[in-house]
Chain A
Amino acid sequence: MMAAAGIRLERLTRRFAHRVKGEVYAARDVSLTVAPGELVTLLGPSGCGKTTTLRMIAGFERPDAGRVLIGEEDVTGLLANRRNIGFVFQNYALFPHLTVFENVAYGLRVQRLAQDRIAAAVGEVLALVGLAGYERQFPQQLSGGEQQRVALARAIVTRPRVLLFDEPLSNLDAQLRVRMRAEIRALQQALSITAIYVTHDQEEAMAISDRIAVMSRGTIVQEGTAEALYRRPASEFVARFIGRVNLVPARVVAAGGGHVEVEVGDHRLRLAGVEAAAASGEKVRLVVRPEAVALAPAGGDGLAGVVRTRVFLGEKVEYQVGVGDDTLQVTRYAGAADAAFTPGTVVTVHLPTAGVGLLPAGA
């Protein structure tokens, strides 16, 4: 097996002519480093340039500027067939006129391996993806999940240095999606192949990746582990894109020593462990996740609120609570004491004082 190689993207840029808007940047100065054996997800809304970026890495699309490095080798000028990359397409792109065996064997035949070695290698990967015995089927005779596995087998059989996935699970139903993403992750780790995975599904991204790079309008706006992005989003876009969020307007009263004191309405909070720099008097927004907000019966210290709606979702309960003119999303576990307020109830809202991110008012 070839040793896993890292990937480095340096200011990749790709422009397209748009009929109405003139030139649009599908990717603009995209820089990203993926360590050997790591799986990084490009996450972002439709049209943000994920596919374009991935296709530039694969060599299907030529960048207008910037470089692609695999290992330490600059491959920007190499054709796609010289890059030794495995690509899994959204619609699988299985060759309809070839059997499952021939589909998987295709890359090996290109390498002119001996027939018995091809047969052995194909048998091995097909077993790995759980499709032993499907050799003589044609793609049209397989279910979506099976086609997905063939595509995966075809991409890994040549032991590529890098695996690229473009929304590989979007054609599958919800349950299969969850199962396949676990399988893909397990396989990628077992083979320790460097991988870049494109999706617009934040849950999938969180489940499968070592790190996530969030894209918006052709650029990477933030990258980090799922947890870091969730807890410390750098912008409203990232905060809203990953998970549900309340952005609570506040004003900094005092800052220093790892603590920030803010005013929310006429209520004061002393936040611990805030990394963002904040100056006294500055207007900010607190990044408060719904599950971090606690509710209590009216009275006592805290913000006054009114329960507007309550939705029971099995293991959890989702509230919308009116606080002043704003509405807060609140999630509580169904067994908890504060999970039983009915709409109309006046409650006291406790905002968390730790693990709260700060965003400047305009970000």
Chain B
Amino acid sequence: MLVLWALLALFVVFPLGALVARAFFDGGRFAPGALLAIARDPNHLRAFGNSLLLGALVGVAGTALGFLFAFTAVRVGLPRGWSAVLDAAALLPLVSPPFTTAIAIIFSFGPRGLITWHLFGLKGFTVYGLGSTFAAETLTYFPLAYLTLKPVLAALDPNVEDMAFSLGSSRRRVFRTVTLPLTVPGLGNAFLLVFAASLADFATPLILAGNDFPVLPTQAYLQITGLFDFKGGAVLSFVLLVPAFVVFVLQRAWVGRRYYVTIGGKTGAETAVKSVAGWARWPLLAGCLAVAAVIGWFYALLAYASVVVALGANHAWTWVHYRVIFTEGLKAIRDTLVIAGLGMPLGGVYGILLGYLVARKAFAGRRAMEVVSMVNYALPGTIVGIAYLIAFNDPPLVLTGTALILVACYVFRYSPTGIRTTVALLQQIDPGLEEASQSLGAGSARTFWRITLPLLVPAFFAGLGVVFIRSMTAISATIFLISINWTLITVRILENMTELSLGPAAAFSMLVVAIVFVVMAALSRLLRRFRTPGRVMVAGLLGG
């Protein structure tokens, strides 16, 4: 326990403190002047406004799209195959490097885009700006809403709707007066998640927003990597911290009071769901399929781009991009795998340990530990990255340039999924099981090893899976932490993009998607070998 506190203090509290200190203090003196100066800078003010606007738009659209998918998946009574299509469409953006949608949009609508240039022969069409950024982020982040809303909708007892229906309500009325209100907490949660994701995203705006639409995370990034202005970066990310903090508080206060779905109770009869009229199924399904088709098109395009010389210009087959990434890019691939491989088990163990402590043990500071463990997860990656950079760049602890800083960043930023799964699972596991074991003579160590731990296996794999996937795909925090010694695939993709060598970027992206899929398949394979109640799909955990 002390060890956990020490780790949390070192990798969560300390960096954040360092960031705030850098923003407010100058040579040991309290100097909020810089903050005020930035706050008065019209450019930054605009970036701040833009960030909020973009986040709100993406939040609304992403939630709507997520609800459409979730409602269709849960209530339309699709055949298995179709819901697999929906799931796949929602999953792809989640397991991809952050710019895949952006790249695909440039391939389609860019200056030499397949659709704008080749299909319609448009010249001078500018893809850059709010519209494309909004579209790309919506497509990238709506799966978060989908994954949040699907269980909420699935947990609604169909009997409640049947009841309203039998009381004479029309289907539309049932939807408006029963289904929707019951989903409101879920919708709120989904909106906050998508909003926060958009707020934190700097990769998509970096590529798509262009000069006319600056947003905060990009500004902070440019401040540091372009101007080496740590203080400016710190101040900017501190500004970003404010809305992020508001979201965090809102989420805990309002939606955090969860509605627990218990397992074991008698569930409502699985009657054919009557909340959707027969005719309404087709537009719902068509809407989902249209979105799925767009996503499918993007990925097909990416795959195609990785095997032709230059998409839009020269469509001759070639393996040269893959050769490039496996020669020049080999180091990045190796580094990424090493870091993800190290972070995976650490993150898994850390997740269930902390989750178990928080959920089952009573000790002073339990709530505090839970909240602190969530901080790095809740904060935009840019903030975390800059905070680590500031904190670990100077003595007493110099970690920049090492693999450790990258691993630590991933573990403490992405393990909260494992923690939450552990907590949720423990809430479903009847404490009676542990008491039964005790009454049969087992001590607490034996009870933990023989009863609790085996039941937590899904949470372990979930936590570990998420840390792995994020280690493969994330960039926002770690872009500040890479070095000559340790680099990452995602960073290479970004470099390729800025050098306009889109082919290798596409090839890298395909590789990441492939690796992630293989690892996920292996994990769920493994998971299936353990008999546990409430089996949780790794894929289902990337949300919340």
Contacts and interface: CB of A to CB of B under 8 A. Distances in A.
Interface of A: 58-60, 79-87, 89, 91, 93-97, 106-107, 110-111, 138, 140, 154-155, 158
Contact of B436 (A59, A83, A84, A89): A89
A94 B429 CA distance: 11
Contacts of A80: 435, 438-439
A161 to B, nearest CB: 12
Contacts of B256: none
A91 B430 contact: yes
A87 B435 contact: yes
A195 to B, nearest CB: 14
B443 interface: yes
A276 to B, nearest CB: 42
Interface stretch (B184-192, B412-420, B528-536): B528-536
Given A93-B432, A96-B455, A97-B454, A110 B442 contact: yes
B270 to A, nearest CB: 17
A323 to B, nearest CB: 43
A111 B430 contact: no
Interface residues of B, number: 22
Contacts of A81: 438-443
Nearest to B433: A93
A158 B441 contact: yes
A79 B441 contact: no
B176 interface: no
A86 to B, nearest CB: 7
17 contacts: A60-B435, A80-B438, A81-B438, A81-B442, A85-B439, A91-B264, A96-B455, A106-B437, A106-B440, A106-B442, A110-B440, A110-B441, A110-B446, A111-B441, A154-B436, A155-B439, A158-B440
**Secondary structure of the B contact surface, majority rule:** helix
| Most chain A CB inside 10 Å of its own CB: which residue of B430, B437, B441, B443 | B441
A167 to B, nearest CB: 12
Nearest to A106: B440
B351 to A, nearest CB: 20
A83 B442 CA distance: 11
B441 A87 contact: no
Contacts of A138: 531
Contacts of A93: 430, 432-433, 435-436
Interface in B405-459: 430, 432-433, 435-443, 446, 450-451, 454-455
Contacts of B455: 96-97
A110 B436 CA distance: 12
Nearest to B439: A87
A94 B441 CA distance: 15
Contacts of B532: 96-97
Given A81-B438, A94-B436, A95-B437, 15 more contacts: A59-B438, A79-B438, A80-B435, A81-B441, A87-B439, A89-B432, A91-B430, A91-B432, A96-B531, A97-B530, A97-B532, A107-B440, A110-B442, A110-B446, A138-B531
Given A95-B433, A97-B454, A86 B439 contact: yes
Interface string B483-506: 000000000000000000000000
Contacts of A89: 432, 435-436
A305 to B, nearest CB: 44
Interface string B514-533: 00000000000000001111
B435 A97 contact: no
Contacts of B438: 59-60, 79-81
Contacts of A85: 439
Contacts of A84: 441
| Most chain A CB inside 10 Å of its own CB: which residue of B430, B439, B443, B451 | B439
Nearest to B435: A60
Nearest to A151: B436
Nearest to B436: A93
A93 to B, nearest CB: 4
Contacts of B441: 81-82, 84, 107, 110-111, 158
Contact of A87 (B430, B436, B530, B531): B436
A154 B451 CA distance: 15
| Most chain B CB inside 10 Å of its own CB: which residue of A87, A93, A158 | A93
Contacts of B439: 58-60, 80-81, 83, 85-87, 155
Ranked nearest first, the 3 interchain pairs of A and B with the lowest CB-CB distance are A107-B440, A93-B432, A87-B439
Contacts of A87: 435-436, 439
Given A84-B441, A106-B440, A111-B441, A95 B435 contact: no
Contacts of A60: 435, 438-439
Interface in B94-110: none
Nearest to A87: B439
Contacts of B430: 91, 93
Contacts of A155: 439
B437 to A, nearest CB: 7
Nearest to B454: A97
